[in-house]
Amino acid sequence: MMTMTLRVALILVSVGTLFLMMRRIRQSKMQIESAVFWIVLALVLVVFSLFPAAADFAAHCLGIYSTANFLFLFAIFVLIVKVFYMTIHISQMETKIRELVQKMALDEKKNQEEKAQLQKLLDEKTEETKQAWRD
């Protein structure tokens, strides 16, 4: 069985997480896609704290004797999955950044070569003009 202290702690943490996520979304400091995970997790914890029989049932089905152990196991599992997906996302972003930096470097080199060619043409025309004025 879940103790009253654990239930109150779950409710407070869950509601606090919901409040924080909603506030961050309103302030445009967090994308909605990123916040959905935390909102869903907080709602699941609220359900487990308001209806402890659901957590007890899940713990019993998994063969876990303590509901608190189930909740900790659940939280650890969910966070490991989140870290895995964040690692994938970071890896994809690093690849995109590398490609963008390489493209920018190539564009910069091309611009410098074009500037050098234009300067060379300008210098040639200037010399031709000076020669024409001397003759």
Between the two ends of the chain, the Cα-to-Cα distance in Å is 106
Query: Is the pLDDT at 128 greater than 70, yes or no?
Result: yes
Query: Is the pLDDT at 2 greater than 70, yes or no?
Result: no
Question: Strand runs (DSSP E) across the chain, as ranges?
Answer: none
- The percentage of residues in the chain with a pLDDT greater than 90, rounded to a whole number, is 44
User: For 29-82, what is each residue's pLDDT tens digit?
Assistant: 777 777 788 888 878 888 887 888 898 899 999 999 888 899 889 989 999 999
List Cα–Cα distances, 114 to 44, 108, 118, 123, 126, in angstroms: 60, 10, 6, 14, 18
Q: What is the pLDDT, as a whole number, of residue 14?
A: 81
74: which 2 tokens? 């659940």
List Cα–Cα distances, 103 to 67, 94, 96, 106, 107, in angstroms: 54, 14, 10, 5, 6
